[in-house]
Structure formats: structure tokens, C-alpha cells
Amino acid sequence: MLSERPFYRLLRHCVDRMFHGGEGSGTGEVDASIGVILAILAAPGAFVSLALVSKYGAFFLWFREYYVKDLVGSLRRGGESLHFDPFTASLPDQYFFIVLSMAVAAAVALWKWDSLLPDSHDYANLAHLPLRSRDIFFANLTTLLLLAAILSVDINAVSSVLFPLLACGSREVFSYTALFFGTHVVSVVLAAAFGFLGVLSVLAILMSALPYRAFRKASIYARSAVLIFLVALLTTSFSEPAKIERLERGASAWSRFPPPAYSFCRLVE
């Protein structure tokens, strides 16, 4: 059986360690099962998608386009009408989903910072067993890639279905919806993978460059810095899309550099 093979047992062990290991493990800390964790991670995307019903829902579109227009007369500002273009309207939301996906995945990596890579427990328990070092590290790498993939899908599972359906609901062209759906899924999944692997890269660089004690001290600062960056990313996500729109008109190019902005640029193109 597959589960009896040492490598697959090592894979399962790495998953256990990543979900249940780390500082404070086994000492009475709340231990959530994998299913609960995955459900919690999918929640933000689901909530945001549901909140967008008031923007894209058919009833609300009708209410804005017909009832409000009738109430205040024909509104024309600078030649613009109140006609709702779902593509234009969805640009800020698409950007936000990219940022949210990246931030949640990176937050998971920050949360499990201590258990992503083999540690002293692994050395103490596995080093004297008949296992090749490369098998241990390869199993850990495989687990990390699997985890990145699972996170990428899970964080965006609900929003990837709900948001495109909402945004494209007013369009009756299937190809448009399919293209929108595909673009959205690819961008948010890649954003999540980028967020997770980005934090992992920071961890790996620190671990490689610093002695153990310096690494333990630097970890606290590194995690705090990444957390502050993620909060800043989320809080500025509402103003970024407008800045990116102005890029086409020759505005400052600095907005291209933050990762979500770059992904968004490609998305828009």
C-alpha cells in the first residue's frame, strides 16, 4: 500500500507537522482540524463575494439604472451616463481579490513560519533513521508545493465561482463569462501561490544566511515586517485600481512594482 512506503509516510508527516507543529504545539493550544482551517481560509473570499451582490446583483442593477435615474432625472456629467459597465466596475474588485488572495496565503505562511521547514525536532527524530537526507528535504519540498497549491485553490474556491458569475451576470455571452472566469481564476491562484512562496523565500533566505540564534531573533522582526506590509497592501487596495487606470495616461510608474499591481496590469492588458 502507498501509505506504507516510507516516502509517502514522510509526506504525511510533513503535512502533520505543518498543520499541527510549530511553537506551542501539543501544549494545549487550540488544535483545529485541517477541514476547519480550509473552511476558515475560504471564508474571506466568500464574504467579499457575497458583499458584492449589492453591486452586481440584477435587482440592484435595475434599481440603479431605472429607479434612481427616474428619480433624479437624466443625469449626465461630462458626457457620462449612469449606464453600468460590469467590466469597468469589476476592475477594482478584481484587484482586491488578487490582493486578498495574496495576503491570506502569505498570512498562512507567516502563521506556520516555524513549521514550514525541517527543524530540531526533525533532526532529533529522523536523522538517525535509515532515511536519506535528500528524501527528507524532497518530502518537505513536495509538501510545501502541495500546500501552496491547496491554499491557492481553497482561498479562492468560493470567490472564483461567485464573483465571475456576479460580475458577468448581466452579460449574456458565454465566451465573455468564460474568459472573465479563466482570467480571474488564473490571477488569484497565482497571487496566492506568490504570497505563500514569497514568505517561504524570506524564511529560507534568513535561515540560510544567519546562524540559528540570530535567525530566531530576526524571525520576529521579519514576520512583523511582512505582516505590516500585508496590512498596508490590503488597506491601500482600494486606491490602487484608480492609480493603475491612470497608468495608461502616463502617470507615475511606481505602481507597477508592487506584486498585485503588476498582476493587475497584466490582467487589464
Q: Are 195 and 105 in contact (CB under 8 A)?
A: yes
Q: Which is nearer to another protein, 82 or 117 (CB)?
A: 117
Question: Alpha-carbon distance 199 to 104, whole Å?
Answer: 11
Per-position DSSP letters for 54-123, written without gaps between them? HHH-HHHHHIIIIIIHHHH----BTTB-----HHHHHHHHHHHHHHHHHHHHHHHHHHTGGGSS--HHHH
**1 binding another protein? (CB under 8 A):** yes
Give the residue, chosen from 83, 128, 134, 213, that forms a contact with another protein under the rule CB under 8 A: 128
Rounded CA-CA distance 217/212 in Å is 9
Q: Could you tell me how many helices (H) and strands (E) the chain has, helices first?
A: 13, 0
Least distance in Å: CB of 29 to another protein? 9
Q: In one letter, which amino acid is 170?
A: S
33 binds another protein (CB under 8 A): no
132 binds another protein (CB under 8 A): yes
Collapsing DSSP states into helix, strand and coil, what is residue 158? coil
Select the span of 103-111, 121-129, 159-167, 235-243 touching another protein (CB under 8 A).
Answer: 121-129
Q: Is 125 in the site for another protein (CB under 8 A)?
A: yes
Among 53, 61, 117, 131, binds another protein (CB under 8 A): 131
Give CA–CA dist 148/190, Å, rounded: 10
User: What is the x/- site pattern for another protein, positions 7-26, by CB under 8 A?
Assistant: --xx--x--xx--xx---xx
Q: Which residue has the cell 476558515?
A: 40
- Give the separation between CA 202 and CA 84, rounded to whole angstroms: 43
Binding characters for another protein, 59-98, by CB under 8 A (x = yes): ----------------------------------------
Q: Which of 74, 88, 120, 208 binds another protein (CB under 8 A)?
A: 120
Report the residue number, 127 or 220, with the smaller CB distance to another protein: 127
Which of 120/175 has CB closer to another protein? 120
Binding residues (CB under 8 A) for another protein: these are 1, 3-4, 6, 9-10, 13, 16-17, 20-21, 25-27, 31, 120-121, 124-132
